[in-house]
Amino acid sequence: MLNSATRLFWTLLLWACLHLQALAVQPGGPAPGFELPRLDNGETIRLSDFKGKVVYVDFWASWCGPCRQSLPLYEDLQKRLPVGQFQIIAINLDEDRKDAEAFLKRHPVSYLILSDPEGISASAWSVPAMPTSFLVDSSGKIANIYIGFEPSHIGTIEHDIKALLDSTAASHPD
Amino acid sequence: MTLKRCWTVLLLLTLIELSACAEVQPWERGRLAKPHMALDADPLLSSIDAHTYNSKEAASGGNGPAGGGCGCN
Amino acid sequence: MKKLSRTASSLLVSSLSLPGFTELLAAESEANNFQYRYTLYDEEPLPQNVLAQGDPDRYRIKSHQFRFEQDLNERFTLTVEGIHESMSGSSPWYVFPDPDRGPLQVMSGATISETRNEIGLTLGTQNNGVTHAFRGGYSTENDYDAVSAAYTGEYEQQNKHTTLSWGVSYSDDRLSPTDAELFGRIPHAERNSISASFGLTRILNRNALIQSGVQITHQDGFLSDPYKEMWINGGVFFDKRPDQRTAFSWTTRFRQYFVGSNAALHADYRFYDDDWSVTAHTLDLAWHQPFGENFELAPSIRYHSQRAANFYQPAITDGQQPKYWSSDYRLATYGAMRYRLSGTWRAEIWSLALNADIYNSSESLALSGPLFDTPALVDFWRISLGWQISWQ
């Protein structure tokens, strides 16, 4: 019925569809970086601006249930930890910025929110699910990846952040 | 009758499974998450609909009953 | 935690609902919530020109539904739901084959108001990426009691944008028809039913998804209607249906988003077939149009067509002596159109929905099947108001 070339084409296409996987970004490897505008004032922010600090990069959107749960808990976390050494950066992936703005109006947070409506940074960081967050150490390497969110994860996240802060302090005693 | 039907449907389900391999990234699911794109946005309405139609028509299923209390005359 | 999807848990609401199909939503976890809905259902009276005898004012039903869903901890969710209904009105008894005026419907005298109560409890849990739900239900009214149990499961394959779902359920029903001695009805009867389902949900692209699944049900026991009768060759006899019924249904649901208008098209089709020779097609089309941030208007139409059960006839006058018989209009060949308009207001933690329906049925709307004069085919209207509140 189908000639060999056509059969091969469809088989390869089928195989590609079933097995196509983005290359994963791994803990221990370098963080891919980003260059994105702030949601509030459009100022361009780069990951490299925060070299020397521990950074928690969170990919979220207003339509994602666990994301909504995480925001107030991250706000508490940012407030509890020293801002000079630790920064939460939340990259919003709402296709329409207005959805994010409306959501933040009702649930304001004080940490940094960047806007990436086209998902360019999400692709670069191979975000596997919504939400996903990456703990980046002061030298720009990925220390941990947290896929999904549950309120009970905050304990583990805080513990991991403190461990990085302590090791940074240990290597920079002044 | 029923067994043959099942196989036909399973084949169709397999085709659906293999179809439309447009890769949708996790952050691209915002439109599908909108309330009016839900498969069942209002469970109580669906339930009373099922109850009404199962009582007044000969067909059932798709939401499906397992018998059930019905004072439906 | 990711709760059991809305569809799976919602489909288990009444003992008339079954483990069916589940919903695939991107990383969506449902908030805890409480819902309430009031529905008023009212049938058009039987037209005078086809009334043989009895009360033409048909059924009116008022229903109160509620549903409460709460995460107990990260792994378990509890859902409690219930319905309280009150019903009144007369129902069709049998068709009298008037030699001059054609088939006329004999109606019962108006029933005293009856109530039905149903409660269901579901425990949902998640283990290794598979969500399970176990439900027990109990329904009771003055002439009918039913106990049911169901299990549904769901597995989401994240990378392949596919969710598999499956379920089984069982129901045990006991009938105690009212005024049994007075009318010579069967005083007690039992029936049970078992059902299995399997389905698949798939994201097609950023704007569309599709769900398709099958369900098989087997019923056993007293399946006749103890209140209905049939005119057979000059005498009136109680409805007599086979004591088994096996049914198959296949339902496909499609959702398409339109970026320009921010609207969604819903298209649902169900094919039904059973061993009583009933075959049915049902198509439901809806357009959901948001206006601004908080309001949505959704007109929809539902077309249903069925062919008659092989033992259905309005009346027998030709000396036949069938093994089974029923004059119940619900087993006849006919088609029906349901027109609906829904308005929904949504805020972050609450929503309000108003729905109005008109339903018309007629022999002429049927796609195919043996046609009879079915005077009792019913028209009804329905209005319903639902309210929901949610919390973290």
User: What mean pLDDT is predicted for residues C96-110?
Assistant: 90
Residue C254 CA to chain centroid, in angstroms? 20
Closest CA to A81 of A110, A103, A108: A110
pLDDT value for B68:
44
pLDDT value for A48:
93
Q: Judged by CB atoms within 8 Å, which residues 207-236 of C form the interface with A?
A: none
For residue C20, what pLDDT band results from cuts at 50, 70 and 90? very low
Q: Which of A102, A129, A152 sits opposite C27 (nearest CB)?
A: A129
CB C249 within 8 A of CB C272: yes
User: Percent of chain A having pLDDT more than 70?
Assistant: 84
For residue C156, what pLDDT band results from cuts at 50, 70 and 90? confident
Mutate: best of C159, C204, C206, C293, partner A, most A CBs <10 A: C159
Q: Judged by CB atoms within 8 Å, which residues 31-60 of B form the interface with A?
A: 31, 33-34
Q: Is C36 contained in some domain?
A: yes
User: What mean pLDDT is predicted for residues B48-71?
Assistant: 74
CA torsion C195→C198→C199→C200, rounded to 10°? Answer: 170
Q: Is C18 contained in some domain?
A: no
Cα A173 from Cα A168, distance rounded (Å): 8
pLDDT value for C179:
87
Residues of C in contact with B63 (CB under 8 A): 11, 17-18, 20
Paired strand residues for A141:
A30
Q: Is C58 contained in some domain?
A: yes
Report whether pLDDT(C94) > 60: yes
Q: Tell me how close the Cα of C244 comes to any Cα of chain B, in angstroms.
A: 12
Cα A121 from Cα A141, distance rounded (Å): 16
**Which residue in the block uniquely carries the two structure tokens 């049915």?**
C280
User: What mean pLDDT is predicted for residues A60-68?
Assistant: 92
- Which tokens hold the place of C233? 């060759």
| B17/C317: higher pLDDT | C317
Cα C42 from Cα B52, distance rounded (Å): 11
Residues of B in contact with C25 (CB under 8 A): 29, 32-33, 38
Report whether pLDDT(C24) > 50: no
Cα A134 from Cα A154, distance rounded (Å): 13
CB B67 within 8 A of CB C191: yes
Closest CA to C129 of C174, C164, C167, C171: C164
- CA-atom Rg of chain A in angstroms: 19
User: Percent of chain A having pLDDT more than 90?
Assistant: 67
Contact A64 B33 (CB under 8 A): yes
Name the helix (H) or strand (E) containing A154. helix A153-171
Q: A22: which DSSP letter? A: P
User: What mean pLDDT is predicted for residues A88-106?
Assistant: 95
Cα C356 from Cα C383, distance rounded (Å): 4
Query: How high is the mean pLDDT of chain C?
Result: 89
Average the pLDDT over each of A96-100, C214-218, C342-346, C371-375 and give the range with the smallest value: C371-375
Question: In this structure, what are the phi and psi dihedrals at residue C58, rounded to the nearest 5 degrees?
Answer: -90, -160
CB C145 within 8 A of CB C126: no
Contact A129/C at CB under 8 A: yes
pLDDT value for A11:
61
For residue C5, what pLDDT band results from cuts at 50, 70 and 90? very low
pLDDT value for C231:
94
| Per-residue pLDDT reduced to its tens digit, B6-30 | 777 777 766 666 655 568 999 999 9
Amino acid making up residue A143: A
Closest CA to C19 of C198, C251, C191: C198
Three-class secondary structure of residue A151 per DSSP? coil
Report whether pLDDT(B72) > 80: no
Q: List chains touching C (3+ CB pairs under 8 A).
A: A, B
**Which residue in the block uniquely carries the two structure tokens 């149903």?**
C118
Report whether pLDDT(C340) > 80: yes
Report whether pLDDT(B60) > 80: yes
Report whether pLDDT(C86) > 50: yes
CA angle B45, B47, B53 (to 5 degrees): 100
The top-scoring range by mean pLDDT among A54-58, B2-6, C96-100 is A54-58
pLDDT value for A82:
86
User: What mean pLDDT is predicted for residues A116-137?
Assistant: 94
Closest CA to C214 of A131, B17, B13: B13
Cα A11 from Cα A164, distance rounded (Å): 48
pLDDT value for C109:
82
pLDDT value for C43:
96
Residues of B in contact with C87 (CB under 8 A): 71
User: What mean pLDDT is predicted for residues B35-50?
Assistant: 93
* Relative orientation angle of helices B2-18 and A4-19, to the nearest 10 degrees: 80
List of residues 6+ apart from C128 with CB closer than 8 A: none
The model's pTM: 0.86
User: What mean pLDDT is predicted for residues A110-132?
Assistant: 95
3-state DSSP of chain C? CCCCCHHHHHCCCCCCCCCCCCCCCCCCCCCEEEEEEEEEEEECCCCHHHEEECCCCCCEEEEEEEEEEEECCCCEEEEEEEEEEEEEECCEEEEEEECCCEEEEEECCCEEEEEEEEEEEEEEEEECCEEEEEEEEEEEECCEEEEEEEEEEEEEECCCCEEEEEEEEEEEEEECCCCHHHHCCCCCEEEEEEEEEEEEEEEEECCEEEEEEEEEEEEEECCCCCCCEEEECCEEEECECCCEEEEEEEEEEEEEEECCCCEEEEEEEEEEEECCCCEEEEEEEEEEEEECCCEEEEEEEEEEEECCCCCECCCECCCCCCCCEECCHHHCCEEEEEEEEEEEEECCCEEEEEEEEEEEEEHHHCCCCCCCCCCCCCCEEEEEEEEEEEEC
Count of domains in chain C?
A: 1
Report whether pLDDT(C236) > 80: yes
Q: Where are the domains of chain B?
A: 30-56
Report whether pLDDT(C377) > 60: yes
* Relative orientation angle of helices A153-171 and A65-80, to the nearest 10 degrees: 40
Residues of A in contact with B19 (CB under 8 A): none
User: What mean pLDDT is predicted for residues C68-92?
Assistant: 93
Alpha-carbon torsion (A14, A16, A22, A26), positive or negative: positive
Beta strands in chain A (DSSP E): 35-37, 44-46, 54-60, 86-92, 112-115, 132-136, 142-147
pLDDT value for B11:
72
Residues of A in contact with C348 (CB under 8 A): 106
CA torsion C50→C51→C52→C58, rounded to 10°? Answer: 140
Q: Put residue A138 in one of left, alpha, beta given phi > 0 → left and psi -120 to 50 → alpha.
A: alpha
pLDDT value for A26:
82
Cα C301 from Cα B57, distance rounded (Å): 17
Contact B18 A122 (CB under 8 A): no
Q: List chains touching A (3+ CB pairs under 8 A).
A: B, C
Search chain C and give the residue with CA nearest A99: C293
Contact A150 C293 (CB under 8 A): no
What single string gives the DSSP state of each residue in B9-66?
A: HHHHHHHHHHS------GGG-TTTTSGGG-S-S-HHHHHHHHHHHHHHSS---SS--S
Residue C74 CA to chain centroid, in angstroms? 33
Checking DSSP bridges between strand C295-306 and strand C380-391, what pairing results, if any? unpaired
pLDDT value for B62:
73
User: Domain A4-171 belongs to what topology?
Assistant: Glutaredoxin (3.40.30)
User: Percent of chain C having pLDDT more than 90?
Assistant: 80
For residue A1, what pLDDT band results from cuts at 50, 70 and 90? low
Contact B15/A at CB under 8 A: no
CB A59 within 8 A of CB A130: yes
Q: Which of C28, C74, C293 sits opposite A150 (nearest CB)?
A: C74
- Which tokens hold the place of C243? 């004591």
- Which tokens hold the place of C16? 């008339």
**Which residue in the block uniquely carries the two structure tokens 């059932």?**
B60
Cα C32 from Cα A65, distance rounded (Å): 11
Cα A49 from Cα C355, distance rounded (Å): 54
**ipTM at complex level:** 0.89
Looking at residue C328, which CATH number applies to its domain? 2.40.160.40
